[in-house]
Amino acid sequence: MVANLQPLGFGWSKFEEADDEQAQPDVATNGKSTKGPASKPSKKKPVRPTSRRVKKTEGDDTLAIDLNDSDEFVEPLSDASEDESIVDVTELFRPKPPKTKLYDKDLEFPLYWSEVLSPITQKYIPVDPIVKSLVGTSRELVESLEPRGGKADKAKQGMSYCIAHSQDGTAKDVTVRYLKGQLFPGKTKGMRMQREKIPVYNKHGKVKRYEYHDYFKAIMRGYVRGGAKHPVTEVDEAEESTDLKPAEPEKKEVKEGEETLQYYKSSKEYVLARHLKREEALLPGTVPVRKFRNKGKGGKLEAEEDVFLRKDIVPVKSAETWHKQGRAPMPGAEPLKHAPYRVATTNRRRELAEAEAAAGHKILQPLYGYDQTDWIIPDPIKDGVIPKNDYGNIDMFAEHMCPEGAVHIPYRGVVRVCKRMGIDFAEAVVGFEFGNRMAVPVIQGVVVAEEHHDTVIEELEKDEAERARKEDEKKRKLVLTTWRKLLLGLRVADRIREDYAHLEEDEGAGGGAHHDKDWHAQMQEAEDEMRFRDENMAGGFLPEGFNVEEPLKKAPPPPPNQPTKSNYFANSQGDDENEADPFEVDHGEIHDQEEGGGFVPFDNYGVNQNDGGGGFIPEDDEDMKDAQPKPENEALVASGKPATRSLKKAAPKAKAKPKQKQTSRRRSRRTKIEDTEDEDTEEED
């Protein structure tokens, strides 16, 4: 079975557009149309379906003849004159309706047909019993299955892929068999998937070659014959070499004197001078083989032109192009052709414009043939000095352009080695890259004297080893830095989880509590604090330059008769002790002068009277004496009885100092020096 796969179309043609049906007026029983909204006539008539059936009328009187009205001038026949030989046979002969097609009745060309293998010719013969009802016994009948002409365009039928399926499950593409003249691609051009051109690059990123990928062929690979289950037969080989082999277009033989301009343009044997390219020229002394006169507009004949043979044409190039190939024109060689300059850079265009302005006419570029050029062989070097051009380098477009006694070292970093060793060298220019109206030279290595080759190679190997070591060290540092960052992040995350986990619990219990700071800000602050701690603490060891102050020796405890006393609350500066305090409240007599903070110690509970109660340090005796205006309190104190006194309101606490910003300056440790009895006595004095 052969299936003609149709390409997926899009859009609608004018025959497929759906228009609104024209509303027909309602007809009453009296034959008059009823009034109703007038419908607008449609611009396009609705397409009626094609049908070959003949509608039957009531009574089938289409061919019946009315004998009474056949001739108005003939007298009516009487009963006596009736002829029994006249018989009305119109009812007996009726037209036979055509046979209707059950399948694909709306197609002009088949989509499916069969192929039968002939046992005599061993060739496949197409058979279409549905649409065209033919057997492809000739080439014309086989080609008639290809959709062509206006009917095919109207039905949107074409031929892109014809796939023949066999009983064993294999399939093959047999499109070439049904194309006109077996010329491929023919009408299938633009409907088949073309081969994709895929570039293959080398290690330097340049295109090494191209490979072609046929998508449809890759799909059919699983259905073609050639395996162990379905081997290739002789019939398949004969079919591939005859019916499925594309034919080559026939060459039309043109008689002499009937040639056209297009014939000479595409001819591989003859050529006209007007059809020569810029880099093509005729050899000196070439003789034309014939004359050609073209017909112009209105049938007028133009002037005769010489016709030459294609073998007398040679390629020509400019001196600069030959120089890039390692060749140069011979002295005294005459150019075979002159052509306009092709300017690729801005500087060259400026120079050409200045030269044309000075000369007063258009300057042409001379072109030379291969036989007019010779290899460029430079002179040998002397005393290890490399010859250089005007730009300070040497042209190395070919290997033979290296002067005798010198060697080309095409490695990276060799320029730095030569400069360090003080060796004379010249950078090698191996080509040019053009872009942005500029020509950039491609430099590859240097050219040095042969006696310095081994030394330069040794130094270059050392530099490469050092460069590789630095790259490895750089990668190692990057890896360690990445790991350190990861570990710091884990430590920060653990610390934040320990310090702020209770906030999350409170937030879940309280329902809607928000943190004061963003999580990222907390992370950054904790990381800065840990970094600052690491820098100052140096991992638990004292950093260099850190001076530790030795703590002073602790003074011996004072004797029991002279207790150390100090005030917990700092006295405000500028206050007079004898001045009356407006906020002072009198609570009665003072029970004890030596107790501080309003707590009374008792001996029964193991508390010394000299010590302050409640953890407060009692004030000095001298201060208490100045603060006691009544002398009778002294007697009470001497007798050991609890004395009453008026408590003073505590001075307001000083405002907390603002939190200082962390600085990069390293902190120094300070030892706390405890107060001694000597310092207390000095203050009293």
Per residue in 300-332, pLDDT (tens digit) is 777 888 999 999 999 999 999 999 999 999 999
pLDDT value of position 307: 92
Instruction: Decide if pLDDT at 397 tops 80.
Output: yes
Higher local confidence (pLDDT), 529 or 225: 225
Higher local confidence (pLDDT), 314 or 58: 314
Q: At what angle do helices 453-510 and 519-537 cross, to 10 degrees?
A: 120
User: Which residues have C-beta within 8 Å of that of residue 34, sequence separation ≥ 6?
Assistant: 25, 26, 27, 28
The least confident of 278-292, 380-394, 638-652 is 638-652
The least confident of 13-27, 273-287, 418-432, 613-627 is 613-627
User: Which residues have C-beta within 8 Å of that of residue 676, sequence separation ≥ 6?
Assistant: 555
Q: How many CB atoms lie within 10 A of CB 596?
A: 21
pLDDT value of position 528: 83
The least confident of 250-254, 339-343, 493-497 is 250-254
User: Which residues have C-beta within 8 Å of that of residue 350, sequence separation ≥ 6?
Assistant: none
Instruction: Decide if pLDDT at 619 tops 80.
Output: no
pLDDT value of position 92: 57
Over the stretch 61-93, which tens digit does the pLDDT of each residue have?
444 445 454 444 445 545 544 455 555 555 555
Intervals of CATH 3.30.70.2460 along the chain: 377-468
pLDDT value of position 145: 92
pLDDT value of position 252: 75
Higher local confidence (pLDDT), 273 or 25: 273
Closest CA to 153 of 14, 5, 4, 2: 14
Q: How does DSSP classify residue 223? A: T
pLDDT value of position 97: 67
The least confident of 94-103, 343-352, 552-561 is 552-561
Intervals of CATH 3.90.260.10 along the chain: 112-243
Question: Tokens 């509303």 sit at which residue?
Answer: 23
Q: What is the mean pLDDT of the chain?
A: 74
- Rounded to 5°, the CA angle 125-131-133 comes to 50
Confidence band, pLDDT 50/70/90 cuts, at residue 454: very high
Q: CATH assignment of 112-243?
A: 3.90.260.10
Instruction: Decide if pLDDT at 196 tops 50.
Output: yes
pLDDT value of position 621: 45
Instruction: Decide if pLDDT at 446 tops 90.
Output: yes
pLDDT value of position 625: 44
- Give the Cα separation of 126 and 188 in Å (integer): 20
Alpha helices (H) in 290-389, listed in sequence order: 319-324, 346-359
- Give the Cα separation of 182 and 261 in Å (integer): 29
Intervals of CATH 2.20.20.110 along the chain: 259-315
On whether the CB atoms of residues 418 and 425 are closer than 8 A, the answer is yes
pLDDT value of position 320: 92
pLDDT (mean) for 379-384:
90
pLDDT (mean) for 49-67:
48
- Give the Cα separation of 152 and 444 in Å (integer): 63
Token digits of residue 61: 């009187």
**349: helix, strand or coil:** helix
In CATH, what class is 377-468?
Answer: alpha beta
pLDDT value of position 164: 94
Closest CA to 423 of 404, 389, 448: 448
Query: With 0-12 CB in 10 A as exposed, 13-18 as middle and 19+ as buried, what is 173?
Result: middle
Confidence band, pLDDT 50/70/90 cuts, at residue 602: very low
pLDDT value of position 28: 44
Instruction: Decide if pLDDT at 53 tops 70.
Output: no
Over the stretch 621-666, which tens digit does the pLDDT of each residue have?
444 444 444 444 444 334 444 444 444 444 444 445 555 555 544 4
**499: helix, strand or coil:** helix
Confidence band, pLDDT 50/70/90 cuts, at residue 6: confident
Question: Tokens 């006194």 sit at which residue?
Answer: 645
CA 32 to centroid of chain Cα atoms: 74
What architecture (CATH level 2) is domain 259-315? Single Sheet (2.20)
pLDDT (mean) for 584-604:
48
Please give the helix or strand (H or E) that residue 27 lies within, else none.
none
**197: helix, strand or coil:** strand
pLDDT value of position 189: 85
The least confident of 273-277, 448-452, 525-529 is 525-529
What are the CA-CA distances from residue 444 to residues 74, 169, 394, 429, 505 (Å)?
119, 60, 11, 6, 69
Q: How does DSSP classify residue 202? A: -
pLDDT value of position 500: 86
Higher local confidence (pLDDT), 473 or 558: 473
- Give the Cα separation of 427 and 393 in Å (integer): 5
On whether the CB atoms of residues 165 and 1 are closer than 8 A, the answer is yes
pTM strictly above 0.75: no
